[in-house]
Amino acid sequence: MIHFDVYLAYWQLESDKWSLDKLWLFHGIEWTCAQHWFWWKTAFGDIAFNNTIKSLPENIYDILLENDALNRTCEWSDLFYVPKKHAEMFIYLSELASQNKLFFEIAVPACIKWTAVLASPNNFESEIVTESGNGIVRNLARCAPNALFCHKVDLQKESEEVIRRFTQPVAWHWN
C-alpha cells in the first residue's frame, strides 16, 4: 500500500534486501510508542488498542503475549507491503483493529508485528524489512536523489521540471 503523499523510487529496491516473502514497513517500527503521543488519549488510541487485544482469539493472544508482542506500536503507515503468504492473517488482524476503530498509524505497525510474530514466533524481526526515507520533505526538490522514498510530497504542486528530474530514472530503467 502506498499513500497519496509518498514518492517511491521503486527502481532502487535492492532485491537482496527487499524480499517479496517479507513484510515491509518503510518508516520502521517504533516498538514502544511514547506515552505523550496525542492519539493514545483519544478513543482511537489506548481504548481501541486494548479492545483490539481483548478481541484476539485466545490462541493468537497467547502467542503474542508469550513473545512480548502486545506492547504499543506506532509509526507512519504510508508505505507498506504484505506478501501473499501473510495476507490472510494480516487482513484478519486488520479487520479486528478496524472493528475496534484503532487509529491507522497504530493498527498497521501492530498488525504487521503481530503477523510476523505469528509466522515466526522466536524470530519475528527476520520477517520484517524496514527502511527510513527522507522523512517529511514537503516537496520533491528537497528529496535526496538516491532516497528510496520521500514522504509528504504533493505531486500536484510540483513543477514539471522537478517531476521530470525525479522520474527520469524510470524512463531509463525501462529502455
Q: C-alpha grid cell for residue 68? A: 512480548
Residue 27 is assigned to a structural domain of this protein: yes
What stretches of the chain adopt beta strand conformation (E)? 6-8, 23-25, 80-81, 128-130, 149-151
The predicted pLDDT at position 100 comes to: 97
The predicted pLDDT at position 51 comes to: 97
Residue with cell 503523499: 5
Residue 96 is assigned to a structural domain of this protein: yes
Check pLDDT > 80 for residue 32: no
Kindly indicate the confidence band of residue 175, based on its pLDDT and cuts at 50, 70 and 90.
Answer: very low
Q: C-alpha grid cell for residue 58? A: 485466545
Residue 110 is assigned to a structural domain of this protein: yes
Residue 143 is assigned to a structural domain of this protein: no
User: Dihedral, CA atoms, 26, 112, 45, 91, nearest 10 degrees?
Assistant: 120
- Closest to 113 measured CA to CA, from 100, 99, 126, 96: 126
Residue 118 is assigned to a structural domain of this protein: yes
The domain of 19 spans 6-130
Check pLDDT > 70 for residue 35: no
The predicted pLDDT at position 58 comes to: 97
Residue 37 is assigned to a structural domain of this protein: yes
pLDDT in tens, 90-113: 999 999 999 999 998 889 989 999
The predicted pLDDT at position 102 comes to: 94
Residue 19 is assigned to a structural domain of this protein: yes
| Interatomic CA distance for residues 3 and 80, integer angstroms | 9
Q: Is 122 exposed, middle or buried (0-12, 13-18, 19+ CB in 10 A)?
A: exposed
Count the domains in the chain: 1
The predicted pLDDT at position 118 comes to: 96
How confident is the model over 61-82, as a mean pLDDT?
84
